[in-house]
Each structure stands twice: as C-alpha cells, then as structure tokens.
C-alpha cells in the first residue's frame, strides 16, 4: 500500500489508477478528493491496526487513545472525499452504489464506536471498531480480490471493477460479523462458568 501511495508523489496524474481517470483530472473537487484520500488513508490503516493490540491497550492506554483519535479523525476526513470518489467511480451505477454504501457504513460504524466508548460501553465499542476496521481494510482487500480474479479468469475491466467494488468490502464485513458473534459466544460462555 505504501509503495502504491508514494508513487503518486509529487501529485503525478499519469500513473496507476489515474491512467483510467483522465476525464476527471480537470474536475477540481474530484482531484482534491483523490489526492486527499491517497495521502491520508495510510494513517487510518496503521492507526486502526494498533487498536487491536492487547499489549498496547493494557500497558499503553494513552497511546491507544492517541492512535484511536488519529484513526477516527482520518475516517471523518476521508468520508466526504471518498463520497466524491464514489460518485465518480468507474463501473456505472453498481460500482458507484458499492463505494457510496461502503463510505456511509464506514463513517457510521466509526461514529458509533466513538459514541459507545464515550458512554462507557467498551464491548460495543470494540464491536463497532471491528466493523469499522474491516471496512478500512477494503483498501487492501479490493486489490487482493482483483489479483485473485485475474489469476483464474480474464474479465473485461468494467465488469471486473463492478464485481471488485462489492468484493472489496462485503466479505470483510461478513467476516467481522462472524468474529463479533464468536467473541460474544466466548464472553457468554465465560460468564456462565463464573456464575456456576
């Protein structure tokens, strides 16, 4: 991811993803949205990763809070820019719908995680953070699924992008829900043992 981001510096518009977005380069809001997203999303990826470390949470609570704030602010910054990018996404309406839905769920789960921790509901906070980070990881899984699909079958770019837009986050979210339910069952099991 980092190598993919660095290659756009200093604001190159003739490489990578931008080769397929040449008709949008003169649309200033889209261009600002693209570069903002590219150069800031790495903070959410890295900061979010630290939030699941039990060592950091147990021994470095202040660092956990600082990284959590970086994560949340980065998501809130990226919400409007990702929305703009979703509107201009390749792949017609199915792709636009996928990216806009992803963006809305992303900011909603992140917002709910903040509300829950401020209300003292640690367990619910963790669940919403799992959902939020699963969607943050769509930046990685989107690229992964493209490689997987193209290694098995040759697909035209337009349908590939439509399929990939949904594969980039739906499996992540399903996996997050499975993890959350597994965690709940484990906590319920422990609570029952304590009561017995």
Q: What is the per-residue pLDDT across 74-116, written as a single tens digit (0 to 9) for each?
A: 999 999 999 999 998 887 899 999 999 999 999 999 999 999 9
Measured torsion, CA atoms of residues 120, 123, 129, 132, in degrees rounded to the nearest 10: -110
- Residue 36: cis peptide before it, omega within 30 degrees of 0: no
Mean pLDDT of 42-71: 92
Which stretch of DSSP H or E encloses residue 42? helix 28-50
Residue 141: what pLDDT?
A: 93
Residue 139: what pLDDT?
A: 87
Tens-place pLDDT, residues 124-171: 999 999 999 999 999 889 989 988 998 998 888 788 889 999 999 999
Mean confidence (pLDDT) of the chain: 87
pLDDT beyond 90 at 4: no
Residue 120: what pLDDT?
A: 95
CA angle 73, 76, 82 (to 5 degrees): 130
Q: Are 132 and 102 in contact, with CB atoms under 8 Å apart?
A: no
Dihedral sign of CA atoms 83, 89, 93, 95 in order:
negative
pLDDT beyond 60 at 39: yes
Q: What's the pLDDT band for 15 if we cut at 50, 70, 90?
A: low
pLDDT beyond 70 at 8: no
Residue 14: what pLDDT?
A: 62
Q: What's the pLDDT band for 196 if we cut at 50, 70, 90?
A: low
Q: What's the pLDDT band for 29 if we cut at 50, 70, 90?
A: confident
């Amino acid at each position: 991811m980092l190598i993919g981001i660095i290659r756009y510096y200093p604001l190159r518009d003739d490489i990578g993803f931008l080769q397929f977005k040449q008709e949008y380069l003169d649309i200033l809001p889209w261009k600002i949205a693209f570069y903002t997203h590219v150069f800031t999303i790495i903070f959410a990826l890295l900061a979010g990763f630290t939030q699941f470390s039990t060592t950091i949470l147990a021994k470095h609570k202040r660092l956990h809070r600082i990284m959590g704030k970086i994560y949340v602010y980065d998501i809130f910054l990226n919400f409007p820019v990702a929305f703009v990018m979703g509107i201009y996404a390749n792949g017609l309406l199915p792709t636009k719908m996928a990216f806009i839905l992803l963006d809305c769920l992303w900011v909603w789960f992140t917002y709910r995680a903040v509300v829950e921790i401020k209300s003292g509901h640690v367990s619910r906070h963790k669940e919403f953070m799992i959902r939020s980070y699963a969607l943050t990881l769509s930046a990685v899984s989107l690229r992964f699924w493209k490689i997987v699909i193209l290694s098995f079958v040759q697909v035209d770019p337009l349908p590939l992008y439509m399929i990939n837009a949904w594969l980039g986050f739906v499996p992540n979210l399903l996996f997050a829900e499975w993890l959350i339910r597994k965690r709940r069952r484990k906590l319920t099991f422990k609570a029952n043992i304590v009561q017995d």
